[in-house]
Amino acid sequence: MLRAFKAASIGYLALSSAFYENKSFLRLFSSQHSVTLAKLQTMDSSKEPAESHETMAEAVKEKTPTGCTEKSPLTSTEPGLLPGETVVNEGKAAILFPSANEVFYNPVQEFNRDLTCAVLTEFSREQLAQRGIRILVPGEKDRVVIQLSEEKNGTVSQESAEQPEVQNLKHEEASEKEQGLRVLEALAASGLRSVRFALEVPGLKSITANDFSAKAAALIARNGQHNNVGHILQASQRDASMVMYEARGKSQRYDVIDLDPYGSPSPFLDAAVQAVSEGGLLCVTCTDMAVMAGNSSETCYSKYGSVSIKSKYCHEMALRIILHSIDLRAAAYQRYIEPLLSVSVDFYIRVFVRVKTGQATVKNSASKQALLYNCVGCGAFHLQRMGKKTSQGKQMKYSAATGPPVGPTCEHCGQKHQA
């Protein structure tokens, strides 16, 4: 568990700021995106969390994708369709799907894709600004700032475009293409997400949409062409881990890696933390919420190195578990993470973290993480830090933490603790 990851539950939304005190707010959501807090829902903890794997045919039969643009969500009359094919409109993309249950599509995850486009837009603008390229998102007037500091937890305020860092930004298309960001969607299915990146996120140089399924890779290529983004989007049919391991070299790393697997991202994390560029963005979905929310604590340990417990705060716990796991994998390569945004939505969680390199900062990892003692009776909890960090003048001293923070039974109700 990461004690210092300040995951703040704001109504339906759990956000974690960077765990450095001076990074206590996030700028989010350009007005281009119709993302609202109201659209977020946490899981109902009284219900068994479940994964939602769905193919196109099931989705069409049972659901209409929510929140689509004004275009009709489903049509089958567009030119260029193969027999039985359907088109799904989401965001700015129009995605071809075969009628058979061959390639994964989950309309419920539309919010995940909306959110990712919004985060990538902000990330791209920030990164390109550092490279001397200014990007104005069309139509943007105001930016929403979510304050995460302890004093103002949960307040949402509007800031005008007169903020110095966004003032007078202009779209400079030519250099944007040369110096733009390289994106990898490692588990891309139909390519829907990647096509949306190509159409909706400014400042991207290339997008590799990878899937080990031959049918998915072929569909990705067709969807790239169908949406006229073939110049920026490359379809790839490889094992995701191999693509990332081959991109570990500094000049080959990706600025953004998106992991959106079936269930757990655990098998892909080791490669991902190495293949993301310095200060790059790693976006990770977990849909194995039953495991992460305490129903299968031993599996949680084997995948993430944390034992999940059943608790009222199971969604926040799941976020801390995945952040802990990514941080630990990164630390093996002298890398560390800065969580930018962490959300629990419907049946899944999604985290966006920046990955950086620095041996000195990696040393802080143990002292930021803790074991949690949870009273099975009254729910009171205490933290047992994993490591201790003390300053000795200009030097930092690292040692084992002392403890335990609790006695054999709860001081309030006399019951035992789970660790």
Ligand X SMILES: C[S@@+](CC[C@H](N)C(=O)[O-])C[C@H]1O[C@@H](n2cnc3c(N)ncnc32)[C@H](O)[C@@H]1O
- Residue 262 within binding range of ligand X, rule CB under 6 A: yes
- Residue 330 within binding range of ligand X, rule CB under 6 A: no
In whole angstroms, the minimum distance from the beta carbon of 173 to ligand X comes to 27
- Residue 193 within binding range of ligand X, rule CB under 6 A: yes
**Interface positions, 71-90, toward ligand X (CB under 6 A):** none
Of the candidates 350, 294, 298, 282, which has an alpha carbon nearest to the alpha carbon of residue 322?
Answer: 350
**Interface positions, 104-123, toward Zn ion (CB under 5 A):** none
In whole angstroms, the minimum distance from the beta carbon of 194 to ligand X comes to 8
- Residue 196 within binding range of ligand X, rule CB under 6 A: no
Of 16-24, 56-64, 312-320, 410-418, the window that binds Zn ion (rule: CB under 5 A) is: 410-418
What does the alpha-carbon distance between residue 185 and residue 118 come to, in Å, rounded to a whole number? 16
- Residue number with CB closer to Zn ion (261 or 377): 377
Bridge pairing between strands 13-16 and 25-28: unpaired
Q: Identify the helix (H) or strand (E) that includes residue 348.
A: strand 348-357
Per-residue CA distances from 85 to 175, 212, 230, 279 (Å)? 38, 21, 20, 41
Tokens of 96: 């071809």
In whole angstroms, the minimum distance from the beta carbon of 195 to ligand X comes to 10
What does the alpha-carbon distance between residue 142 and residue 158 come to, in Å, rounded to a whole number? 7
- Residue 261 within binding range of Zn ion, rule CB under 5 A: no
Residue 377 binds which of Zn ion, ligand X, none (CB < 5-8 A, kind-dependent) = Zn ion
Of 153-161, 254-262, 335-343, 368-376, the window that binds ligand X (rule: CB under 6 A) is: 254-262
Give the one residue of 103, 259, 326, 410 binding Zn ion; rule: CB under 5 A: 410
Q: Where are the beta strands (DSSP E) in 126-275?
A: 142-147, 156-160, 181-185, 204-210, 233-236, 254-259
Is the backbone peptide bond immediately before 202 cis, with ω within 30 degrees of 0? no
- Residue 240 within binding range of ligand X, rule CB under 6 A: yes
- Residue 209 within binding range of Zn ion, rule CB under 5 A: no
CB 20 within 8 A of CB 386: no
**Interface positions, 367-396, toward Zn ion (CB under 5 A):** 375, 377-378, 380
Can you list the pairs that 302-308 forms with residues at least 24 positions away whose Cβ atoms lie under 8 Å? Answer: 303/264, 303/266, 304/264, 304/266, 306/1, 307/419
Interacting residues with ligand X (CB under 6 A): 104, 109, 113, 187-190, 192-193, 210-213, 216, 239-240, 260-262
